[in-house]
Amino acid sequence: VCSARKGGNCEEIAERVLETLGEKGVETELVRLVDYEIKPCHRCDYECFREEFACPIRDDVPLIWGKLAEADGIIIATPTYYGFVPAILKAFIERAQGTLRWVTVELRDLEGVWRGKPTLVIVVSDGGGDMVADWLRGVLREASVRFWHVSYTKLGRPGHLGGLIDLPELSSRVKEESEELYRELMSRRGPQR
């Protein structure tokens, strides 16, 4: 969840998807970026471009990228701020270069984290949702991504008030998206599991 607000629309929607998956026996974990220390790139000497060095910034970014790398599927729920992604998501993504390139052999490339994984991106916005979805399509180019733009204007309720999950049309769509993500996850497992 990439919102700066705990308990908001993004979190409520993501929690409902995870709840549906959990009822089907899928192990889930909700990760709120605001619960972690995430610093943007700053004052570096491009250590991340040299194999012998790693990103000099010490925070929780490697931990979160590690969780994403281990996951079988990913849900990204993000609002838009002034028509673009929240600063915390932008900082997290831009730090991938330094974090994924050299921290460990297993985490050498961003595409390796997403490659082929079922990924549901939920963009909750009034404006800018399409632009954010396009930007994330570029970032997630190796993933098996489905985008869902939740426009609270179309739902007829201001987003800042929260509670979009209580709208029957949104709740119904959450169930549909959860079922589709479950099918994708199960198809990746194959007949051996």
Does this model's pTM top 0.85? My answer is yes
pLDDT of 16-35, one tens digit each?
999 999 999 999 999 999 99
pLDDT of 33-82, one tens digit each?
999 999 998 877 777 766 666 778 889 998 998 899 899 999 999 999 88
pLDDT of 93-145, one tens digit each?
888 776 665 445 555 566 677 788 899 999 999 878 889 999 998 888 878 88
**C-beta separation of 33 from 90 below 8 A:** no
Query: What is the band of 182 on the pLDDT scale with cuts at 50, 70, 90?
Result: very high
For residue 154, CA distances in Å to 15, 150, 157, 171, 189 come to 22, 8, 8, 15, 37
In this predicted structure, what is the pLDDT of residue 83? 87
Which of 44-48, 89-93, 158-162 is predicted with the least confidence, judged by mean pLDDT? 44-48
In this predicted structure, what is the pLDDT of residue 3? 94
In this predicted structure, what is the pLDDT of residue 94? 85
What integer best gives the mean pLDDT of the chain? 86
